[in-house]
Every structure is written in C-alpha cells, then in structure tokens.
Amino acid sequence: MRSFDEIYALAVARKGEAGVLESLQHPKPQTEIAGMADNRFLALMTKCIFQSGFNWKVVEAMWPGFEAAFGGFDIGHCAMLHDEDFARLVSDTRIVRHGPKIKAVQENAVFLSEIAREHGSAGAFFAGWPTDNYIGLLDVLQKKGSRLGGNTGQYFLRFAGVDSFILSQSVVNRLIAESVVDKAPTSAKDKAAVQAAFNAWRAQSGRSLTEISRILAVSID
C-alpha cells in the first residue's frame, strides 16, 4: 500500500495541484453537526433515499413538496404515521409516490427517535461517533435504519457533514490498486481493511476522511 504522499502525488499528476485542491470537500465541525435538529437528519436521509436510483434533479425540484407533505420531517409526527397517512402520501403529487420509500420515512423517524432518547439528540450521536470506526457507523445505518445501506447511507453522512469516505467506483479502484481489497468491500474483513487503510492515511497526512476519499477518487483513471 502506498503512503498518502505517494497517492497525493498521483492525484496531482492527473489533475494538477489546483485541480486536486478544488475537488476537496471538508467535514463540518463536530459542534455544527451536534447542533443540527433531529428533523434535518430525517430530511437528509429521506432525500438520499428518494434520490437513490432516481433522477436527483427531480427530487430536488420537488423538495418543498416533500417538506410540506411530511410536516417538516418532525420526528414525532413522522414516527406516528399510520395507514391513513400512507394512503394519503402515496397519492400526494407533491412527492415521488414510492410506497416503500415513503414507509422508510416513518421507520427512520423511529430509528432517530431511539438515537435521540439514548444520546440526547441525533446530532450528538453522529458528532460523537469515532472517526476511526466510520465503517461501524455505516453498519449501524444499514442494520437499524431503513434503506440506508450501501451508497445511500454514505451519501447521507457526507451531506450531513460527518467526516466520511464514500466507496465510489474510483475510490474502490484505488483501494484495489493499493492491494487493500481485491473487489468492492462487502465482507466484514474487507470493510475492516478499508477502515485500517484510511486510518493509516489519516495518521500520515493529518487530513480528514472526507479529504482523503476525494484525493483517492481523483488519483486514478
């Protein structure tokens, strides 16, 4: 496995240093994440779920309708949605009428309510999660959330500002090139290897997982 500096040099050779720096994203301060209202996490989860496998521009254009239809994504309100609400929502032209994804809003409201009861708020939970076990946070989303596995959970955390890596095809290709994994990581063993590699590059560079993820992505064709 190459050092971070060697991979950064590959990225610069491809994009130029200005191009690499322009591509970087940065996580939000933990205090900002901790201060986010619970309903904003539910809104982000919902947006990522509805955009998955769909035209994201359509969802973005309809988003004010989503906010209205789901009562501003108030956690208590959404957790208590019942059969009559679902019947109304699957006919609501303000939103994308996808029954299982609509149901996921209620399930994720329950999930976030449980987090808030245990940790004080969803923001406190996400802000306090240890960066060196980011893979563990993805596992929590996949196992306890609804429709938050794979890239959906990864993009949710990125948009929430959590320090994160996204296992895009480019990032996976770099991980394969560095012999961290030999295919897209799905097993616990491969996921642990990916986390260990990011932890090593983070220690070498002092950069966030978010920055390292972008640098890996632009370092390879």
- Whole-prediction pTM value? 0.96
Flag whether pLDDT at 76 surpasses 90.
Answer: yes
Which residue range(s) make up the domain with 178?
4-27+165-218
The CA distance from 107 to 122, in Å, is 15
Q: What is the DSSP letter of 94?
A: T
Are residue 85 and residue 35 in the same domain, yes or no?
yes
In a domain, 97, yes or no: yes
pLDDT the model gives residue 8: 98
In a domain, 151, yes or no: no
**What one-character-per-residue DSSP string does 190-211 give?**
HHHHHHHHHHHHHHHH---HHH
- Percent residues over pLDDT 90 in the chain: 100
Average pLDDT along the chain: 97
- Percent residues over pLDDT 70 in the chain: 100
In a domain, 143, yes or no: no
The end-to-end CA distance of the chain, in Å, is 18
Q: How many structural domains does the chain have?
A: 2
Strand (E) or helix (H) holding 45: helix 38-51
Are residue 42 and residue 86 in the same domain, yes or no?
yes
C-alpha R_g of the chain: 19
Give 161-180 pLDDT, tens digit per residue. Answer: 999 999 999 999 999 999 99
